[in-house]
Chains A and B, each alone.
Chain A
Amino acid sequence: MDIELRLREILPLRDPGAAFTDGVMARVAQAPAVSADAGVVQLSEARARRRSRRILLATAVVIGAAAAMPAYFLGDGTDGPGATAAVALVPGGATDSDPDVQVPVQAVFSAEPLGAGQSPPNCIDPDVLRGLLLPGSGVTFRVTADAPPELDGFKPPRQLGWVGASERGAGTMAQSTVSAVYRSTLTPEAARNAAIGALTAAGWKLHATGNIRSSSVFAAVNMQIGDTYCRDGKQATLTASGLEGVTWVVLSIPRNADRNSGLSLACNNPPQAISGTDSTLDAYLPQLELPRDPATGGPVIALGGGGGINSDTDRRMNVSFTLKDSVDNVARHFAGQMAQQAWRADASWSGAGTAGSSWTRQVNAGTVLLGTLGVSAFDEGRFTVVFHVVRTK
């Protein structure tokens, strides 16, 4: 008898039985309860591993929020609707900067009772941070336990627990960003409202809601566009994001931002200049969530991304992340979301290093949006995804 036929005969499927199914369902039912209790979904097997991941995610939230403030680059004076609104999570151009300052970050763990036999790390290893979150970047990243002086008078409500502050780009860039981070068990919306109340009480005024949010296609937990508040020429951007059962509230404040640094504060521009986007196009942009990392069960962290408003009828958004998966799977992940958001598939392709698809969406009788979703795979599981959309009329 042929060996292949014999192999088929000796390899029947074996059913582990109903007890196995019950065991899975019991574990699944247990997961949310643990999440609500501890503020963390138990996706990792070791507590120490979870804590490490939380440190990194919290740091990613800080970095992302700090970098995701609406920034209007003046460039050659082409401010206005035609200018590019860039959101750069990972600025390019590595520098020979001084080593990051290692500052104790015990505050990060203050709300987390340590398990038996565990001791808190003394600092966040800057090499780990740079390697995981800021690959190729020479931008410094400092963590401190002190609230930034720009927030004088800001009294956070008791539901917001102080975590710490970070300063990104200090000493190496003309303009840096300091972020104050709080954690809460409230929902993101409730935590955000609580923070708004405290900001308003401290004299901060809402300048603009995140209008760029409408043209943000890729949704990552560490890549949110927040609302902008102003006080005495200072600017603070508020974001609140839920992550594994914990809500992180981040207030990001640019420092040394003036025309010499090439960065213009939103607070120095009239609100209408900020919202100069085309609602006809932006209202129909898809919202695409980044994939989850099968290794951790959690969402991948955006390593960089941004977008450009080329004209009233043209948008281009991109995001980068690392994931151990095939380019085809990543493309399918996004394509599935496109289809769920009333976009109609036109064509698709898949190659060794790139995959993608093209889409259409009928807005009204005379207007069609044409979208192209392209995924490129680079070394070591790094992906860049670009979504380009144009309006035909």
Chain B
Amino acid sequence: MEPQSASLPVSSAPRHPPGLGDLLQRAQAHDRDAFRAIVAACQARLFSTALRLMGQRADAEELAQDVFVQLHAALGQLVDAAHLEKWLLRAIYHRCIDRLRQRERQGQAVPLEALGDAPEGHAPESGADPLAASHLYQLLMRLQPDARAVVLLRYQDDLDPVDIAAALDMPLNTVKSHLRRSLQWLREQCAGDSHGY
């Protein structure tokens, strides 16, 4: 189900890494170890978002790495840890959307319906019904990328709608609309309906 290899561990990294502000200040002073620590602290979050937007690990790794390289060049403009996190989320989102559109133009779009059936398997969370989890994941991957990004930031990253709107440069009402319609559609689908959103 989820396009990942079995070697991918579930991250134990906190979603809001402590000390990120200090690391940022040190990285801005050209401390490479600090920048490495920033990458290590944020890579799970960025990679997970890219993986679930792109549906392919290779793409996700490439795009996430691109964003970190871009971040290194842009360190000087970041104010604090919150700014850094928002910058990263916005960058990965726009990169993924750009890549998806590029694929679409080139006729290389990965059918979203196929993403949920990727052959690499899924490691269900303990306590979760594997079949139900797989089914829900497949449904999630059928959401349009914009809507999927909103859902990911809400339930993967625990961001509230205001922060999602800021991170994705999206009007707050659009974020709320995506969330409401996505959840409604997912509920309907889990109840047996088969229409897409």
Contacts and interface: CB of A to CB of B under 8 A. Distances in A.
Contact of A31 (B39, B72, B87): B72
Given A11-B155, A294-B91, A333 B77 contact: yes
A335 B61 contact: no
Contact of A10 (B13, B39, B43, B136): B136
A13 B15 contact: yes
Nearest to A8: B155
A333 B79 contact: yes
B74 to A, nearest CB: 5
Contacts of A333: 77, 79
B190 A3 contact: yes
A326 B76 CA distance: 18
A79 interface: no
B9 interface: yes
A297 B83 CA distance: 17
Contact of B61 (A7, A16, A29, A43): A16
Given A292-B77, A326-B169, A332-B79, A10 B133 contact: yes
A118 interface: no
Contacts of A329: 83, 86
A287 to B, nearest CB: 13
B39 A25 contact: yes
Given A3-B187, A4-B183, A28-B35, A16 B72 contact: no
Interface string A2-19: 011011111111111110
A24 B66 CA distance: 8
Contacts, number: 142
A325 B12 CA distance: 32
Q: What band does the interface of chain A fall in when counting residues whose beta carbon is under 8 Å from B?
A: 35 or more
B79 A23 contact: no
A41 interface: yes
A297 B73 contact: yes
A267 B90 CA distance: 50
Interface in B46-61: 47-48, 51-52, 60-61
Contacts of A374: none
B174 interface: no
B152 A24 contact: no
Contacts of A13: 10-11, 13, 15, 44-45, 48, 156
A3 B191 CA distance: 11
B101 interface: no
B151 A7 contact: yes
Interface size on B, as a range, is 35 or more
Nearest to A18: B40
Interface in A225-278: none
B89 to A, nearest CB: 12
Contact of B48 (A14, A28, A292, A326): A14
B43 A7 contact: no
Choose among A8, A16, A24 the residue with the greatest number of B CB atoms under 10 Å from its CB. Answer: A16
Contact of B166 (A6, A28, A326): A326
Contacts of B124: 10
A242 to B, nearest CB: 14
Interface in B150-165: 151-152, 155-156
Given A3-B190, A21-B36, A24-B69, A14 B44 contact: yes
A15 B44 CA distance: 4
Interface in B122-160: 124-125, 127-128, 132-133, 136-137, 140, 151-152, 155-156
A7 B136 contact: yes
A336 interface: yes
Contact of B77 (A6, A11, A291): A291
A193 B132 CA distance: 71
B133 A12 contact: no
A329 B84 CA distance: 11
B70 interface: yes
Contacts of B48: 11-14
B64 interface: yes
A15 B136 contact: no
Contacts of B77: 291-292, 333
A325 B133 CA distance: 37
A20 B152 contact: no
Contacts of B91: 294
Contacts of B151: 7
Contact of B83 (A17, A21, A332): A332
A17 B51 CA distance: 14
A28 B146 CA distance: 30
B175 interface: no
B79 A297 contact: no
A350 B72 CA distance: 28
A11 B74 contact: no
Nearest to A12: B10
Nearest 5 CB-CB pairs, A to B?
A336-B79, A15-B11, A13-B11, A7-B155, A11-B156
13 contacts: A6-B136, A8-B155, A9-B125, A10-B128, A11-B155, A27-B69, A28-B72, A41-B73, A292-B74, A294-B94, A329-B83, A336-B78, A336-B79
Interface of A: 3-4, 6-18, 20-21, 23-25, 27-29, 31, 41, 43, 289, 291-292, 294, 297, 324-326, 328-329, 332-333, 335-336
